[in-house]
C-alpha cells in the first residue's frame, strides 16, 4: 500500500509517498480502507522530530481517517461488516491506503456527510468534546474562551459550547477567521495581533472573566489567561504552540482566583479511555451531524488535497492560514 513517509525529520519537502506493507488486523481489530485523512498539528511536530508516536502505534502520520471496512480480524463482535463506511480516531497510521483499528473506536458516518467531511471529525471533535465535557464540565450559561478559534478544534468547540448552552468567545489572528467563528456561533472574537484579548474578554464579561479557557497556546498566554479567568474558573491546557516556558507569579495569581489548571493530551490515552470517549460522543453528539438534525453540527473544511500534494498541505498548515480542517484524499 502507499503511505506518507519521511526518512529524516525536517521540513515538508522531506515528505513523500512510499510503498509499505499493508497491515493485517489483529484480534478485535478491523482493516479500514482509507478514503480520506485530515492533517493535525501533531503530524507537523512528528515530521519535525518533536513528537514521537505512542509505544506500539504506527509511525505513519495521521490521527484520523474515514473509509470502508475491508477486513474483520479474529474475535470481532459482529457490530461491523465488510463494506461499512466508518470514521476513526487513531494514534497514527491514517495517512495510508489501509489502517488497522480496534473495532470499539470506529464511528458510523452520519447521514449526509461525505467521506472528506467525516475525516475531519474524529480528532478535532473528540478533542473539543473531551475538553468541554469530560474535563471542563461545561454548564449552560458558562462563558468559554477558545484560543485558535478558527482551527479544527476551535470550530468544533464553538459549536459544542453553543449546543451546551454556553457562551463561546474566541481568539484568532485575522478578521476573516473571526468572522467565520462568529458565523459558527461565537458571541465575540478578539484579534490577538491587534488587541489584548484578556482585557477584551473582561470587558465582554463585565469584569467577571470566563468560566472556562481552552488553551492550545501555553507559555506566551499564561498571564493573560489567568487575568481573564473567573473565580473558580477552569483553564484547560492541551497544546504548547506559544512555547513551554513561563516566568512570573503564575501560582499566586491562579491561587488568588481559586482557578484549576488542567492539562490533557488525547493521542497518548489508552484504548479504554478512548473507547469511553467515542461511546459518549457517538451517543450524544454524532446524531446532530445528520442532515435531519434541527441543531445541525458541521465539520469545517478549509482545503482538500490529494495525498500526492502532502508537501503542499503541510506547508499550508505551517502558514496558519486555514479556517477549519485540511483534508487529504487517498487514492482508491
- pLDDT tens per residue across span 6-37: 999 999 999 999 999 999 999 999 999 999 99
**Count of residues making up the chain:** 332
Judge contact between 127 and 134, C-beta under 8 A: no
DSSP string, 210-252: EEEEEES--GGGHHHHHHTEEEEEEEEE---TT-S---S-HHH
For 277, half-sphere exposure in the C-beta direction (CA atoms, 13 angstrom radius) is: 26
In the prediction, which pLDDT does 35 show? Answer: 98
DSSP state of 96: B
**Grid cell listed for 118:** 467525516
Res 244 pLDDT > 90:
no
**pLDDT band, residue 240 (cuts 50/70/90):** confident
Judge contact between 3 and 20, C-beta under 8 A: yes
Among 40-44, 169-173, 226-230, 292-296, which is the least confidently predicted range? 292-296
Count CB neighbours of 211 within 10 A: 23
**pLDDT band, residue 79 (cuts 50/70/90):** confident
Q: Which domains does the chain have, with CATH numbers?
A: 2-120+299-329 (3.90.180.10), 125-263 (3.40.50.720)
Res 226 pLDDT > 90:
yes
Q: Sort 220 into a burial class: Cβ within 10 Å, 0-12 / 13-18 / 19+.
A: middle
In the prediction, which pLDDT does 321 show? Answer: 86
Count CB neighbours of 26 within 10 A: 11
**Grid cell listed for 29:** 481489530
The closest of 13, 14, 15 to 4, measured between CA atoms, is 15
Find cell 485530515 and name the residue.
Answer: 38
Query: Could you give the C-alpha distances from 159 to 66, 155, 320, in angstroms and in order?
Result: 22, 7, 21
Q: How far is CA 176 from the centre of its chain?
A: 21
How confident is the prediction for the chain on average, in pLDDT?
Answer: 95
* CA dist., res. 128 & res. 157, Å (int): 5
* CA dist., res. 96 & res. 98, Å (int): 5
Strands (E), the chain: 2-6, 15-19, 29-38, 64-72, 85-89, 98-102, 106-107, 143-146, 167-172, 188-191, 210-215, 229-237, 260-263, 301-306, 325-329
In the prediction, which pLDDT does 138 show? Answer: 98
As a whole number, mean pLDDT of residues 90-109 equals: 96
Judge contact between 79 and 107, C-beta under 8 A: no
Q: How far is CA 127 from the centre of its chain?
A: 5
In the prediction, which pLDDT does 230 show? Answer: 98
According to DSSP, the residues that pair with 41 across neighbouring strands are: none
Res 273 pLDDT > 90:
yes
Amino acid at each position: 500500500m502507499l503511505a506518507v513517509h519521511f526518512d529524516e525529520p525536517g521540513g515538508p519537502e522531506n515528505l513523500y509517498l512510499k510503498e509499505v506493507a499493508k497491515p493485517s488486523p489483529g484480534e478485535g481489530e478491523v482493516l479500514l480502507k482509507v478514503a480520506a485523512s485530515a492533517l493535525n498539528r501533531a503530524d507537523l511536530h512528528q515530521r519535525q522530530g518533536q513528537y514521537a508516536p505512542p509505544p506500539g502505534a504506527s509511525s505513519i502520520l495521521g490521527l484520523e481517517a474515514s473509509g470502508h471496512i475491508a477486513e474483520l480480524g479474529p474475535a470481532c463482535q459482529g457490530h461491523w461488516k465488510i463494506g461499512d463506511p466508518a470514521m476513526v480516531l487513531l494514534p497514527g497510521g491514517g495517512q495510508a491506503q489501509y489502517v488497522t483499528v480496534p473495532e470499539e473506536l470506529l464511528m458510523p458516518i452520519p447521514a449526509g456527510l461525505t467521506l472528506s467531511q467525516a475525516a475531519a471529525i474524529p480528532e478535532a471533535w473528540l478533542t473539543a468534546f473531551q475538553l468541554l465535557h469530560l474535563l471542563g464540565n461545561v454548564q449552560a450559561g458558562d462563558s468559554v474562551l477558545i484560543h485558535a478559534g478558527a482551527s479544527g478544534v476551535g470550530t468544533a468547540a464553538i459549536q459544542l459550547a453553543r449546543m451546551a448552552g454556553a457562551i463561546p468567545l474566541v481568539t484568532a489572528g485575522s478578521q476573516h477567521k473571526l468572522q467565520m467563528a462568529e458565523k459558527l456561533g461565537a458571541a465575540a472574537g478578539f484579534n490577538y495581533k491587534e488587541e489584548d484579548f484578556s482585557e477584551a474578554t473582561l470587558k465582554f464579561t463585565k469584569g467577571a472573566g470566563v468560566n472556562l479557557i481552552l488553551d492550545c497556546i501555553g507559555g506566551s498566554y499564561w498571564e493573560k489567561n489567568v487575568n481573564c479567568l473567573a473565580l473558580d474558573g477552569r483553564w484547560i491546557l492541551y497544546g504548547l504552540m506559544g512555547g513551554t516556558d513561563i516566568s512570573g507569579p503564575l501560582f499566586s495569581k491562579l491561587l488568588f482566583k481559586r482557578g484549576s489548571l488542567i492539562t490533557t493530551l488525547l493521542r497518548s490515552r489508552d484504548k479504554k479511555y478512548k473507547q469511553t470517549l467515542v461511546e459518549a460522543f457517538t451517543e450524544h453528539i454524532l446524531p446532530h451531524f445528520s442532515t435531519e438534525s434541527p441543531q445541525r453540527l458541521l465539520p469545517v473544511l478549509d482545503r482538500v488535497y490529494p495525498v500526492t500534494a502532502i508537501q503542499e498541505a503541510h506547508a499550508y498548515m505551517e502558514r496558519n492560514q486555514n479556517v477549519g480542517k485540511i483534508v487529504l484524499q487517498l487514492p482508491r
